[in-house]
Structure 1
């Protein structure tokens, strides 16, 4: 799992290094594993509504919509389960080898696979 699917700087050297490394691992593993028909991808969620995000907003998974009153962008956050569904959709994709070596975002997977369950 990474943070974003571009080469943009992520605001902290070590955080950027770790998240960029996940993308490079997908690229390198895809090259190494392709002859064995094994795919490797990096996946990034959107605005992830994890416990670390819920806590500063003073909300829980059940009351998370109240966080949108403080930050309208919070209304577009997604549960970690949405990321899980995206990974499951990738695992079931018979054409996964075409995606091997790429960094994929949940919002792009939604466009390709259709609704992955309620992201909210």
Structure 2
């Protein structure tokens, strides 16, 4: 879908992309998993927000059109961290990862 939209909107100089946040530590996740759960693979909502802010500040954003990005990969590329100072690895499901 991201690729198709990019092809259709390219002539209008519109950038389209997919940003996949991964496992976000929302209030609902915390309610369902409880206080004793291992949240080391999760990140705050601010981490995804920092990814979006970094993309919007990129003067060459148009070269990203039609592509898919994970928040973890964008954190590495743009050198930002979550509110706790960590750079969380991109979320992957092992049997579907390359």
Match of 1:103 among 41, 49, 68: 68
Instruction: Specify the alignment match of 2:78 in structure 1.
Output: 113
Structure 1: stretches of 5+ with no match in the other structure = 1-23, 60-66
Q: Quick check: 1:45–1:83 contact (8 Å CA) kept in 2?
A: yes
Instruction: Specify the alignment match of 1:55 in structure 2.
Output: 31
Which has a greater percent of helix? 1
Q: 1:84, 1:40 → 2: CA distance?
A: 17
Q: Is the partner of 2:54 in helix, strand or coil?
A: helix
Counterpart check, 1:39 vs 2:15:
yes
For the aligned residue pairs, the C-alpha RMSD in angstroms reads 1.8
Structure 2: stretches of 5+ with no match in the other structure = 87-98
| Match runs of 1:3-82 below 5 Å | 24=1, 26-59=2-35, 67=36, 70-71=37-38, 74-82=39-47
Q: 2:72, 2:56 → 1: CA distance?
A: 17
Report runs of 4+ in structure 1 exceeding 6 Å deviation. Answer: none
Q: Quick check: 1:86–1:116 contact (8 Å CA) kept in 2?
A: no
Check 1:91–1:116 CA distance in 2 against 1; reply closer, same or farther (3 A cut).
farther
Instruction: Specify the alignment match of 2:53 in structure 1.
Output: 88
Q: 1:77, 1:29 → 2: CA distance?
A: 30
